Amino acid sequence: MSSKRFTKDHEWIEVAGDIGTVGISDYAQHALGDVVFVEVPDAGREIAKGGEAAVVESVKAASEVYSPVSGVVTAGNAAIVDQPGLVNEAAEGAAWFFKLKLANPVELDDLMDQAAYDAYLKTLE
Amino acid sequence: MSETISGNRALQIEEKLIFELDNPGCVAIDLPEPAPFDLDRLGGAPRRGRVALPDLSEPQVVRHYTRLSQKNYGIDSGFYPLGSCTMKHNPRLSEKVARLPGLADLHPLQPQKTVQGALEVIDTLAHWLKELTGMPAVAMSPAAGAHGEWCGLMAIRSAHEDRGEGHRKRVLVPESAHGTNPASAAMCGYTVDSIPALENGRVDLAALKAKLGPDVACLMLTNPNTCGLFETEIVEIAAAVHGTGAYFYCDGANFNAIVGRVKIADLGIDTMHINLHKTFATPHGGGGPGAGPTVLSAALAPYAPVPYVVHGADGLELVEGKRDGAKPFGRVKGFHGQFGVFIRALAYIQSMGADGLRQASADAVLNANYLLASLKEDLSASFDGPCMHEALFDDRFLKDTGITTLDFAKAMIDEGYHPMTMYFPLVVHGALLMEPTETESKDTLDQYIAVVRGLAARARAGAAEDFKAAPRLTPRRRLDETLAARSPVLRWKPAAE
C-alpha cells in the first residue's frame, strides 16, 4: 500500500521525516496529455496549504500545482524542467515537482489515502 | 498513390521560406550604381556586413506571397465556426471607405486642424459605442481585446489607489470567463482567484459572495459567457460586487450577441472592452490589427488614458495630457489607436443602422441555436438550450470510440472547414465550441450540419483509424504539436550560422 496522500486537485505528497515530496497524480498527467512545460518553486520559498506552488502546461491546458500542505520548499525538481515529458512517464515517481519541510504535519490528516483517492476518481468518471 | 516527383500536390506547391529562395545578385529593380559615396557622411556608423535580406526577382516575390496566401484559410474562403472569436464577414463597403485617400493617406503627426475629419471619425465612433452600451465614456486607443481588459483594470487600479485603497490586490475570475482575463489581471499586478461554475454553466453567486472581501479589486465576468449562456443573475452579481467597494469588469468579447438589446450600463458594469474586430466586423488580421475600445462608468471615466477627442472652440481637439480635473493613468498606445479599424467599424455601424445592428445580434443567436438544435442528437450538448451566440458541445458522444475532440477537429479540416474551438472552455470535458455568427446563410449551416452529422456517425461506427490519420488532404498531415511545444524552432538560421 502506497504511503502517498492525495488532494482533490490531484496532487500527491509522500512524507519522510519532516520532508514531504509533492507531485501530480497519474490521473492528472493523463488528463493533461503531453506535458510541454513545467515551472517548479525555488528552495526557500514559503508556501501555504493550497497555495500555488508550481505550473504545469500541456498541449491542451496550463494548470497550477497547489501545495497539499504548508511549509518551506527545500528543492524543486530540475529534471522535469529540462524534460517535461518525464511527468507523463513517471508522474508518481521520478517526476516529483518539489520537496518541502512541513510546517504543520497535522494538515496531512485532511488528505486522502490511496484507497480514498481511487474511490474519488471513480466519482469523476 | 505514390508521391509526386516535385513534392508538390497539384496546385499546392511546396513553399520554401523566402530566405531559402535567396539567389545572390538577383534583383527585382535594376537601380543605377550609386555614385562614389563619402562614408564619413554616415556619422561613424558604416555598414559592417551584408544585410541578411534575400536577393530575389519580382515574380519570385509575387509568387511566394501569393502561394502563402493560398495556403491560408480565412473567412473569405469558407465557413469558420471558431467559437468565442466571432468570425463574421467583413463587408467590402467598409474596406472601400477605409481606402479613401482622404483617410488612408493621413499621417498621425499632421496638425490637428488638417485632420478634423479623422478626429470626427473617432468622435462619432465613440458616440456610437457609448450609445450602444449606455456608458458615459470610452477609451478608444486599446489595440485589442486583452489590451482593453488591461486598460479597464488600470482604470480600476487608479480609482482604488486614488481613494487610498491600493491594498485591493485580488481579482475574481469565473471559470466561464475568457481565457485572457487572468493574464490581464496578472499583468496589472493582481492575483487571480477563480470562481466555480454551476451545473447550468453560470457563475455560482453564493461562491462569488463568499470570495468577495475588502482586498478584492474587481470581478471580471464574460457575458454572455464562453458557454454561450447569458449570466441571468448579473444584476445581483453587480450589486454584490459594488457592495464591497469593488468594481465590475465585463469582458465584451461576446457583445455581438446582445448589441441593440441590452445596455451594458443597465447591468451595473463599470468597464467593458469591445472587440471591434468581432462585433463590428473589422478584419481579425493575422493576430492584428484589432481594436479594443473600453467603455467606462462615471466612477472610472476620470482615469481614462490619453489621447481622447473633445469638442473645443475651434473644432475637435485631441487631448494628450491632464486637463479639466481628469486623472488619466497614462497612454496605452502610440498615436491614437487603430485608426484604420475605427473607420471600418464606423462604416459598418452606419451602414447597418440601429435596426440592422439589432437584427444582426438576433440572427447571430438564431444561427447558434439552429446549430445547437440540429446537432444535439448527434453530438453531446453541454447545456440545455436556448444558447446565445455560440453552441457548446463536449466529448461524451465520443466515449468509447477511441476518438478525441482533437481527432474530430482534424477531420473537419479534410472536409474543408476551419475547425470549431476545441478544449475551451475548460468547464466541460473535450469542448467543441461553435459560433456561426449572423453572416452565415441557412444553406451554409445546413451543409455544415450534414458534414458534422456524417463525421459523428462515422465516429460511432468505429472509424478511429481514419480520425487518427486526419488530416489527409492538407499540405501537411498531423503535426507533432508536443515536439513543437517542447523544442520550438523559433527562427530560421542560415546553414553556415
Mapped to the 3 state alphabet, what secondary structure does B342-354 carry? HHHHHHHHHHHHH
List b or e across B250-271, with b for residues whose CB sees 16 or more CB atoms inside 10 angstroms: bbbbbbbbbbbebebbebbbbb
Taking the mean position of all CA atoms in its chain, how far away is CA B480? 26
| Secondary structure class of A49 (helix, strand, coil) | coil
Secondary structure element (H or E) that encloses residue A46, with its range: strand A46-47
CA distances from B24 to A24, B32, B497 (A): 54, 17, 17
Pairing of strands A71-76, A46-47: antiparallel
CA distances from B291 to A102, B74, B343, B466, B476 (A): 49, 19, 11, 41, 33
- The C-alpha torsion from B120 through B124 and B127 to B129, rounded to 10°, is -130
Q: Which three cell numbers stand for residue B62?
A: 509575387
Please list the residues that pair with B433 across neighbouring strands: B392, B421
Peptide bond into B214 cis (omega under 30): no
Taking the mean position of all CA atoms in its chain, how far away is CA B41? 46
Contacts of B481 in chain A (CB under 8 A): 34, 59
pLDDT means over runs of 10, chain B (497 residues):
74 87 88 80 78 90 92 91 93 95 93 95 98 98 95 98 97 88 95 90 94 97 92 96 97 96 97 96 76 97 96 93 91 92 97 97 98 97 93 96 96 96 90 97 98 97 96 90 88 77
The answer to whether B482 contacts A36, with C-beta atoms less than 8 Å apart, is yes
pLDDT of residue B82: 95
The answer to whether A61 contacts B426, with C-beta atoms less than 8 Å apart, is yes
The helix/strand count (H/E) of chain B reads as 14, 13
For each of the domains in chain A, give its residue range(s) and CATH number, in order of start: 5-124 (2.40.50.100)
Distance CA A114, CA B484 (A): 35
Confidence of residue A1 (pLDDT cuts 50, 70, 90): very low
Q: What is the ipTM of this complex?
A: 0.73
Distance CA B335, CA B95 (A): 22
Tell me which residue in A60, A61, A85 faces B486 most closely, judged by beta carbons: A85
pLDDT of residue A2: 64
Residue A77, φ and ψ in degrees, nearest 5: -85, 100
Fill in the amino acid letter for B217: A
- Asked if residue A32 lies in contact with residue A63, where contact means CB atoms within 8 angstroms, the answer is yes
| Secondary structure class of B120 (helix, strand, coil) | helix
Q: How far apart are the first and last CA of chain B?
A: 39
CA distances from B210 to B207, B250, B257, B267 (A): 5, 20, 30, 21
Q: How far is B430 from chain A (nearest CA, A)?
A: 10
What CATH number has the domain spanning B93-349?
Answer: 3.40.640.10
**CATH 3.40.640.10-classified regions of chain B:** 93-349
The answer to whether B423 contacts A60, with C-beta atoms less than 8 Å apart, is yes
Q: How far is B325 from chain A (nearest CA, A)?
A: 42
pLDDT of residue B6: 79
Distance CA B344, CA B263 (A): 23
- Homologous superfamily of B360-485: Aspartate Aminotransferase, domain 1 (3.90.1150.10)
Q: Render pLDDT for A69-124 as a digit per residue (tens, 0 to 9).
A: 999 999 999 999 999 999 999 999 999 999 999 999 999 999 999 999 999 999 98
Tell me which residue in B423, B482, B485 faces A61 most closely, judged by beta carbons: B423
Pairing of strands B191-195, B216-222: unpaired
Closest Cα in chain A to B194:
A64
Distance CA B407, CA B425 (A): 18
Interface of A with B (CB under 8 A): 34, 36-37, 59-61, 84-85
- Asked if residue B91 lies in contact with residue B348, where contact means CB atoms within 8 angstroms, the answer is yes
The answer to whether B486 contacts A36, with C-beta atoms less than 8 Å apart, is yes
pLDDT of residue B288: 57
**CATH 3.90.1150.10-classified regions of chain B:** 360-485
CB pairs under 8 A between A and B: 16
Pairing of strands B315-319, B308-312: antiparallel
Q: How far apart are the first and last CA of chain A?
A: 23
Residue with cell 513534392: B7
